[in-house]
Structure 1
Amino acid sequence: MSRPARPWFPAALSLTMVGWGANQFVSLLVYYRQHHGFSEVLVTSMLGIYVAGLVPALLLGGRYSDRTGRKRVTIFAVSLSMAASVAMMGAVFGAAPLFVGRLMAGTATGLTMAAATSWVKELSQAPWDLKSVPGSGARRASLLTAAGFWLGPVAGGLLAAWAPAPEVLPYAVHILLCVPLLVILARLPETLTRQHSQASRSAGEPHHGEGRRRFRLVVAPAAPWVFAAGTTGFAVIPAVVPGLGDGRLAYATAAVAITLGCSVLIQPLARRVDTVRNARSLLTGTGVVLIGLCLVLLAILLASPALGLVASATLGSGSGLLMVGGLLEIQRAAEPHELGALTGYFYTLAYAGFLAPTIVAFLAQWIGGAWILAGMVLLCAASLGMVAINSRKHLPHALERVDPSAASTKPHTRA
């Protein structure tokens, strides 16, 4: 049986389908509240248990894939995502199946983001892809992850609103789409064999820990702003910008569309900004986020909803730049035997940024919105400073290990 011509695509599609399965639940929250009488506390708990599965899977799944291979972990994660959809079909019997399903969905998402992101990177280089350019793996994984996070709520919401059996059909569609994907994934090559991993460990011994040092000093300070920027763009801005009145709901919808749209559209540029000589991609992304936060502060002080939407676009762009830039830094610096682990750590820190709206809402009980945003500006400036100070430290010692053309200064024309 022949293998797919572009093996990276089915591997990246696993990120889309698992993200779809995890986020379709969000668009069904209103239905569960209305038709089952679930309280706000109960629904919030369902969102929280997702994180309880996500974070351990991110931290452990990548490390496990470094030892056993990407393929096995990814196939298991897609299967677990399907099982989560089966469980959540049981909402007709009460809330318990939803809790079980959400826990499994979080675990599946963490495993996929850690293992499949690494798999896509490795399948986007020789000998599996001879035409891709440096950075293609990071951009491909990031784009298809974002696609899943967007398609899940949209598809789930449309099916729940217009199709029969709203408690079952959205999950059934997800399961049916995953079945052929599993068949294709089983035909893909494993990129990290035990011999390859052992050879990489031996080769990496003279410079042991360089990738992790660069991660701590350069990637980690910027990582929380990946999602902190996005959530500020579509959740915080509609809550803190004055003068919206009855139009706040429509404004919030526009902020979501602008933030997420800019985050996706900007990602091809991130690879072009990136360079192997310093952390320019992360510096650019963090700088754009800093500008966006300053614009939010101005929008509050000037009571300007229009400026708030400009800030949403800026923050979304910064989020997209940081997502791709962080993955590029990790995939360039990490040895194969630690790529999955560092990818998991990166996503864990990035997801910490989702707490930004909650922290803002909590502090708003005692502190004005302008002062809170001023504090965020200072924190972001500190992150930017730390990345800048360490930008040229602990650079990869063997860039040709990743791609001999990685140091080219010519602009790339292929994606």
Structure 2
Amino acid sequence: MRMRPWMRVALAMFGVGWGANQFSPLLRVYRDHDGVPEAMVTAAFAAYAVGLIPTLLLIVPFSERHGRRPVMRAVLAVSALSSLVLLVGGHSTRALMSGRLLAGIASGAAFGPGTAWIKELSPGAGPGSGARRAAIPLTAGFGAGPLAAGILAQWLSAPEGLPYLAHIALMAVIAPLAWNAPETAGSPATDTPAPAADLRAVLRCPAFVWEVAPTAPLVFAAATTSFAILPGLVPVHGIQIAASGALAGLTLASGLAIQPMCRRLAVHSPHGTRFSGLAAGALGFVLAATAVRLDQPLLLIPTAIALGACYGMLLVAGLTRVDALAAPRDLAGAAAVYYCLTYLGFAAPYVVAALKGRVPPTDFFLLAALGVALLIPATAFRRHRRAAPGEASRHPVPPPDGTRRCNSCTTGARHTISVLSISMCLRTTSRWKGTSCE
């Protein structure tokens, strides 16, 4: 059977996601088996974000100018190279930092342009289909990578090397399949004359400010709580490495399994996916507090399922909203900003560690549950406006969640988002043009 073009890009994103998250269950290997200092292991984990966020913001104009395919080809090579550096470098701190930095660069170059590329290769697939098709392989890779790495490192020899060798072999299989995916940059869908409103207006519009931005960091805050924080607070004695990988796999598998339901949730309520994701997050943090308080590893299972569902639904809700707000030529840039906001959630482990002496983890999780629950009424606030003249004829099929594209923003859209990653993006993309929001 012939593979559909968008599936080729999806495979590439799956492989990059695998390589990005395979490091999570290996943190204990470096700390306990190789004697790498805790601070250095934490720095290596953070190096991923250092490479990812600037690349996300800078790669989009390059991919618009030179094409999606050259970028993704380079991504495939860099992702495999990151694992090669970690494989050859062993427990060298320089190799750890370099390998994780390369993994971040590969992810940053893949996620923004890759999301837009899948959407562009999905014409006529229905509203929101492109966003869901991009979220599924990303989530699958994020889950499969640490699951495989945890199993290989727990029960087979060479725990510092074999997981990386598995990723290199995977990329060797994926690269020929994704190498010649059809180019879309410069096509009529991405090279149309720019309407009046630009990317800056999309990021300032009420739908982005009040719905997308507040919930985006929770995407990875929920996920990392499950597989990066809880295994250290509620250890599973004897199989800690495998358990950490299994928790990561279960978390992301739950996020993957819930994503097909998101379309049905959106049909029943314009905010259904987002509200359901927030409710799952609040439940997950309550379960996390209970597991820590009782020191009961079995409670990590329902906690991972709830936090994974939160991750999956909020990721789809955010990407679908961004897809609805941005014009085709601005989708890669808007998606890059969204991913930057989601990766702010990777700070959750550091926040918990920094506050551990002042705020017990149980109290922290209960406060987090309360904050997530309050986001439901907070993000329900919406500002309405009249449709711009001719809008109905331009967009006969409204995008999901009741969003409409238009050529101007409301007065209330002139809120600024005080997030450093967005400020960087606005400076980088000030020349881009696109449609605005509701």
Where on the TM-score scale, by shorter chain, does this alignment land: which range? 0.7 to 0.9
Tell me how far apart the structure 1 counterparts of residues 236 and 148 of structure 2 sit (CA, whole Å).
30
Tell me how far apart the structure 2 counterparts of residues 407 and 33 of structure 1 sit (CA, whole Å).
46
1:270 to 1:235, Cα distance in 2 relative to 1, 3 A: same
Tell me how far apart the structure 2 counterparts of residues 237 and 218 of structure 1 sit (CA, whole Å).
28
- Residues 374-389 of structure 1 mapped to structure 2, 5 A cutoff: 374-389=366-381
Deviation at 1:13, TM superposition (A): 0.7
Equivalent pair of 2:25/2:245 in contact (CA under 8 Å): no
1:50-86 CA-partner distances (Å, limit 9, x unpaired): 2210111122223433444322222221121122223
- Show structure 1 runs of 5+ residues with no match: 127-131, 410-415
- RMSD over equivalenced CA pairs, Å: 3.9
Tell me the amino acid that sits aligned with residue 327 of structure 2. Answer: E
Which residue among 267, 270, 276 is the counterpart of 2:262? 270
1:71 to 1:251, Cα distance in 2 relative to 1, 3 A: closer
1:339 matched to which residue of 2? 331
Deviation at 1:108, TM superposition (A): 0.3
1:369 to 1:9, Cα distance in 2 relative to 1, 3 A: same
Deviation at 1:17, TM superposition (A): 0.8
Aligned residues: 398
Tell me the amino acid that sits aligned with residue 43 of structure 1. Answer: V
The secondary structure found in structure 1 opposite 2:196 is helix
1:221-257 CA-partner distances (Å, limit 9, x unpaired): 111111222233445556678xx99799698777555
Return 338-347 or 356-365, whichever deviates more: 356-365
Tell me the amino acid that sits aligned with residue 76 of structure 1. Answer: A
Deviation at 1:105, TM superposition (A): 1.0
2:192 matched to which residue of 1? 199
1:129 matched to which residue of 2? none
Question: Does structure 1 residue 327 correspond to structure 2 residue 319?
Answer: yes
Tell me how far apart the structure 2 counterparts of residues 31 and 239 of structure 1 sit (CA, whole Å).
13
- Residues 150-189 of structure 1 mapped to structure 2, 5 A cutoff: 150-160=143-153, 168-189=161-182
Tell me how far apart the structure 1 counterparts of residues 339 and 330 of structure 2 sit (CA, whole Å).
14
TM-score, normalised via structure 1 length: 0.80
1:38 to 1:246, Cα distance in 2 relative to 1, 3 A: closer
- Residues 79-98 of structure 1 mapped to structure 2, 5 A cutoff: 79-92=77-90, 94-98=92-96
Tell me how far apart the structure 1 counterparts of residues 396 and 268 of structure 2 sit (CA, whole Å).
11
Tell me the amino acid that sits aligned with residue 192 of structure 1. Answer: A
Deviation at 1:266, TM superposition (A): 0.9
- Residues 34-183 of structure 1 mapped to structure 2, 5 A cutoff: 36-92=34-90, 94-126=92-124, 132-160=125-153, 168-183=161-176
Tell me how far apart the structure 1 counterparts of residues 148 and 243 of structure 2 sit (CA, whole Å).
22
Deviation at 1:338, TM superposition (A): 1.6
1:172-200 CA-partner distances (Å, limit 9, x unpaired): 44334324533333322222217654415
Deviation at 1:135, TM superposition (A): 2.3
Tell me how far apart the structure 2 counterparts of residues 275 and 402 of structure 1 sit (CA, whole Å).
18
Return 356-365 or 109-118, whichever deviates more: 356-365
Equivalent pair of 1:278/1:391 in contact (CA under 8 Å): no
Equivalent pair of 1:63/1:338 in contact (CA under 8 Å): no
1:189 to 1:108, Cα distance in 2 relative to 1, 3 A: same
Tell me the amino acid that sits aligned with residue 185 of structure 2. Answer: L
Question: Does structure 1 residue 20 correspond to structure 2 residue 32?
Answer: no
Deviation at 1:385, TM superposition (A): 3.1
The secondary structure found in structure 1 opposite 2:23 is helix
1:253 to 1:93, Cα distance in 2 relative to 1, 3 A: closer
Return 219-228 or 312-321, whichever deviates more: 312-321
1:287 matched to which residue of 2? 279
2:340 matched to which residue of 1? 348
Equivalent pair of 1:237/1:312 in contact (CA under 8 Å): no
Tell me the amino acid that sits aligned with residue 180 of structure 2. Answer: R
1:140 to 1:163, Cα distance in 2 relative to 1, 3 A: same
Equivalent pair of 1:271/1:324 in contact (CA under 8 Å): no
1:203-231 CA-partner distances (Å, limit 9, x unpaired): x3268755322322321111111122223
The secondary structure found in structure 1 opposite 2:123 is coil
1:68 to 1:231, Cα distance in 2 relative to 1, 3 A: same
1:379-415 CA-partner distances (Å, limit 9, x unpaired): 3244333321027679999588788475799xxxxxx
TM-score, normalised via structure 2 length: 0.76
Tell me the amino acid that sits aligned with residue 167 of structure 2. Answer: H
Tell me how far apart the structure 2 counterparts of residues 159 and 219 of structure 1 sit (CA, whole Å).
37
Deviation at 1:276, TM superposition (A): 11
Tell me the amino acid that sits aligned with residue 16 of structure 2. Answer: V
Equivalent pair of 1:288/1:318 in contact (CA under 8 Å): yes
Equivalent pair of 2:220/2:311 in contact (CA under 8 Å): yes
Equivalent pair of 2:152/2:163 in contact (CA under 8 Å): yes
Question: Does structure 1 residue 232 correspond to structure 2 residue 225?
Answer: yes
Tell me how far apart the structure 1 counterparts of residues 245 and 80 of structure 2 sit (CA, whole Å).
30
Deviation at 1:329, TM superposition (A): 0.7
2:215 matched to which residue of 1? 222
The secondary structure found in structure 1 opposite 2:127 is coil
The secondary structure found in structure 2 opposite 1:152 is helix
Equivalent pair of 2:147/2:245 in contact (CA under 8 Å): no
The secondary structure found in structure 2 opposite 1:125 is coil
Equivalent pair of 1:67/1:194 in contact (CA under 8 Å): no
